[in-house]
Amino acid sequence: MQCRKFGKLDWKVSALGFGCMRLPTIEDDSANLDEAEATRMIRYAIDNGVNYCDTAYPYHGGNSERVLGRALKGGYREKVKVATKMPCWKVETAEDFDPILNEQLEKLQTGHIDFYLLHGLNGNRWPKMRDLDVFAWAEGAIADGRIRYLGFSFHDVYDVFKEIVDGYDWTFCQIQYNYRDVDYQAGVKGLQYAASKGLAVVVMEPLLGGALVDSPPQIQAMWDSAAKKRSAADWALQWLWNQPEVSVVLSGMSTMQQVEENVASADVSGVGTLTAEELALVKRVRAKFEELCPIPCTQCEYCMPCPNGVNIPRNFKIYNGGLIYDKLDHARGIYRWLSQDMNAGADQCIQCRECEDKCPQSIPISEWMSVVHEVLGEGKPYDACPTPQ
């Protein structure tokens, strides 16, 4: 396993980190984890050099921390650094900090958390946490040994990111970054700015929730034109590892095959390994994807549950897939099942907008729901429906 510098720390992190947001589940229930398989996957990754595991309070209905904690029994905890996150949206007063952290320590069955993040900071949560003097609290938790280092994860625009980076002496940050998101949220500017300030930069959503894995024919033809053959996932990962500012790339893996393939990719990764021609190819692929994919949903499920029963990520996945792969008739058939049999289609949306405050991608979900139903449920042509901006 290739290892990389982690900011200012005298410690090297594996190129690949294990993200525990997309662990294998039973019967497509995100809270019902296949713990035996998840444990096998996590331990395989660690046995093959992965030394960074990332989870968070809400992942898998609160069960991700529990399963990770049990998977790290038997000597595995000593081989890795564990990262988890303070759910900032649950914090009302400064008195909430300690109970949440202590609950997480109990779920993880550990005496300390190596890398603790303020989860999903943005223009609203940042001033709230700052004004609650979260830094004084965190420094106390560092002093008493419950956490080692403080960082933050981020979903907002670059100017807010820069303000947060400058607002405290952070050890690290976590940003959404991939070859399609170079100008989105923190973007490449944020990556480079944070690194210039000495922060380690942890990358999440390197494959956009799997959207960069199964290439539509137009994209696959572009990959196939390269002299060196790689899978679509490997192209996306190598593009990230090619950049010196990237400390570790988190992958949320759902199958053992994904773990094995990503470990193999990490083994041959490195700064400056892609040629100028290969980087130009990735740039062309990015432009083609922008033409094809209308809704930037990463299937993170932060928007769920919907109070009216809409399966928001599933609706978006069906819609995007129908357009990207030019199979709208097939998508309409799946949508009919989701809408009529499961009562979870976009037609159930009452536009309460509760989901929109939770969406890291700032998608105007309620507006897209009407478009999804018009195209998939009523059979209207995509071009005939006004799309949200």
Angle at 47 between CA 43 and CA 50, to 5 degrees: 85
Percentage of the chain beyond pLDDT 70 is 99
User: In this predicted model, which residue has the larger pLDDT, 200 or 298?
Assistant: 200
Query: Are 176 and 205 within 8 A, CB to CB?
Result: yes
Report the pLDDT value the prediction gives residue 117, as an integer from 0 to 100.
Answer: 97
Q: Tell me the pLDDT of the chain averaged across its residues.
A: 93
**Which residues lie below 8 Å from residue 147, measured CB to CB, with a gap of 6+?**
101, 112, 113, 114, 116, 138, 141
| Residues forming a β-bridge with 202 | 174, 248
Q: Give this prediction's pTM.
A: 0.84
Element holding 101 (H helix, E strand):
helix 97-108
Above 80 in pLDDT, residue 386? no
Above 80 in pLDDT, residue 5? yes
Angle at 241 between CA 203 and CA 287, to 5 degrees: 80
Last residue of a domain, one of 256, 280, 304: 280
Domain identity same for 89 and 215: yes
Region 361-367 average pLDDT: 90
Q: Tens of pLDDT along 350-360?
A: 999 999 988 98
Domain identity same for 52 and 119: yes
Domain identity same for 75 and 8: yes
User: In this predicted model, which residue has the larger pLDDT, 145 or 29?
Assistant: 145
SS3 at position 302: coil
Q: What is the spatial distance between Cα 113 and Cα 94, in angstroms, rounded to a whole number? A: 20
Say how many domains are in the chain. Answer: 2
Domain identity same for 330 and 269: no
| Position 287 in a domain | no
Mind spelling out the 3-state secondary structure of 145-165? CCEEEEEEEECCCHHHHHHHH
Q: Tens of pLDDT along 165-199?
A: 999 999 999 999 999 889 888 999 999 999 999 99
Domain identity same for 205 and 62: yes
Last residue of a domain, one of 280, 301, 322: 280
| Position 296 in a domain | no
Q: What is the CATH number of the domain that holds 192?
A: 3.20.20.100
Region 29-41 average pLDDT: 93
Report the pLDDT value the prediction gives residue 220, as an integer from 0 to 100.
Answer: 92
Q: Give me the DSSP letters along 29-77.
A: EEEEE-HHHHHHHHHHHHHTT--EEE--TTGGGGTHHHHHHHHTTTTTG
Query: Are 69 and 40 within 8 A, CB to CB?
Result: no
Domain identity same for 241 and 320: no
Residue-range definition of the domain harbouring residue 328: 312-384
Domain identity same for 237 and 325: no
| Position 78 in a domain | yes
Above 90 in pLDDT, residue 128? yes
Above 90 in pLDDT, residue 118? yes
| Confidence category of residue 300, pLDDT binned at 50, 70, 90 | confident
Report the pLDDT value the prediction gives residue 338, as an integer from 0 to 100.
Answer: 85
Query: Are 60 and 67 within 8 A, CB to CB?
Result: yes
Last residue of a domain, one of 280, 299, 330: 280
Report the pLDDT value the prediction gives residue 295, as an integer from 0 to 100.
Answer: 86
| Confidence category of residue 135, pLDDT binned at 50, 70, 90 | very high
Report the pLDDT value the prediction gives residue 23, as an integer from 0 to 100.
Answer: 92
SS3 at position 92: coil
Report the pLDDT value the prediction gives residue 228, as an integer from 0 to 100.
Answer: 94
Q: Tens of pLDDT along 198-232?
A: 999 999 999 988 888 888 888 999 999 999 999 99
Q: Give me the DSSP letters along 176-236.
A: E--TT-TTSTTHHHHHHHHHHTT-EEEEE-TTGGGTTTS--HHHHHHHHTSSS---HHHHH
Above 80 in pLDDT, residue 325? no
Above 90 in pLDDT, residue 38? yes
Domain identity same for 257 and 322: no
Domain identity same for 254 and 144: yes
